[in-house]
Chains A and B, each alone.
Chain A
């Protein structure tokens, strides 16, 4: 039963990876990376139950936190053009142009 769930999660991970490779804009790739982080969390929990080591859930919690931190860092960079302190940033989205969406 857990093997079937792991196989389904691996196929979903392959689908998210295909979207990350083929996404026309960079936001598609960011969404795919976020989804693949979530699927990896669930895959860890399932593998932990499969191999009878439920200590893997601690790593799943770490993944969840890193997933959201990585996504928010990418998006903060897109909105403000910098990763500095938001209190001192001017609130305009296109401050400087070194980044283009492809």
Chain B
């Protein structure tokens, strides 16, 4: 009961922060509000018992994203450009989508119940035979690295490509600054 109240309070604060991010025009403030939003998100994930996801969210959202967005702000201007179109139609589309999704979640099984369909197909086999078949004692690691290993390979490839792209873009900016100073 108390964790439900904590979750409700944190989610309300996240909603307020998200609305403020959408409405603020100065981009530095948006970056700082974004890091605050990531801290709140990581706290909610922790209260929901997802410890590793929370650590990743804190590291990526509050650490790396903030620093990278600041490095990007060096290349652009600091005020967001005014929008040219009326935002009512996109708002209506977003509200209709939210309504449909919320209506769809009414048909899902209860949160965390062990009788739901998703826990009856391959999960019992992973739980029973995981340590003997793969040799890894942790079930999550066994699924990620052995049973669904190709998925992990694709993800690592995507993240590696993204990292190289960011390094190339930022390095080119510093190289051009150094060249300008020499000439």
Question: Do A and B interact directly, with beta carbons closer than 8 Å?
Answer: yes
Task: Show the binding face of A for B, using Cβ within 8 Å.
Answer: 3, 6, 10, 13-14, 17, 20-21, 26, 29-30, 32-33, 36-37, 40, 43-44, 47, 50-51, 55-56, 59, 62-63, 66-67, 69-70, 73-74, 77, 81-84, 98-102
Q: Is residue B28 contacting chain A, with contact meaning CB distance below 8 A?
A: yes
B13 touches A14 (CB 8 A): yes
Chain B: interface size category: 35 or more
Task: Report whether A98 and B77 are in contact in the complex, using a CB–CB cutoff of 8 Å.
Answer: yes
Please classify the interface of chain A as helix (H, G, I), strand (E, B), loop, or mixed, using the class held by over half of its residues: helix
Max chain B Cβ within 10 angstroms of own Cβ: one of A13, A37, A66 = A66
Q: Can you list 17 A-B contacts with CB-CB less than 8 angstroms, sorted by A residue number?
A: A17-B13, A21-B20, A29-B33, A37-B62, A40-B39, A47-B6, A59-B55, A63-B39, A66-B59, A70-B67, A73-B67, A74-B66, A77-B71, A83-B67, A99-B28, A100-B26, A102-B29
- What CA separation (Å) do A5 and B29 show in the bound complex? 30
